[in-house]
């Protein structure tokens, strides 16, 4: 049971981290795009 909870928490943290990383990457890409013009 406890292992299940840890797995769910780890999965959630990984998903949130990926989403944050993707949004940060998009912001950086937008800034880079603005600089290139």
**What's the pTM value of the predicted model, to 2 decimals?**
0.61
How high is the pLDDT of residue 37? 65
HSE-CB for 17 with a 13 A CA cutoff:
6
Q: How far apart are CA 21 and CA 8, in angstroms?
A: 20
Query: What does each of the 37 residues of the chain score in pLDDT, given as a tens digit?
Result: 789 999 999 999 999 999 999 999 999 999 998 887 6
DSSP result, 1-37: -HHHHHHHHHHHHHHHHHHHHHHHHHHHHHHHHHHH-
Domain assignment of residue 6, given as a range: 1-36
HSE-CB for 9 with a 13 A CA cutoff:
6
Per the structure, the count of domains in the chain is 1
Compute and round to an integer the Cα radius of gyration of the chain.
Answer: 16
């Amino acid at each position: 049971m406890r292992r299940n909870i840890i797995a769910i928490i780890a999965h959630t943290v990984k998903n949130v981290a990926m989403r944050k990383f993707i949004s940060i990457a998009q912001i950086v890409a937008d800034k880079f795009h603005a600089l290139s013009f």
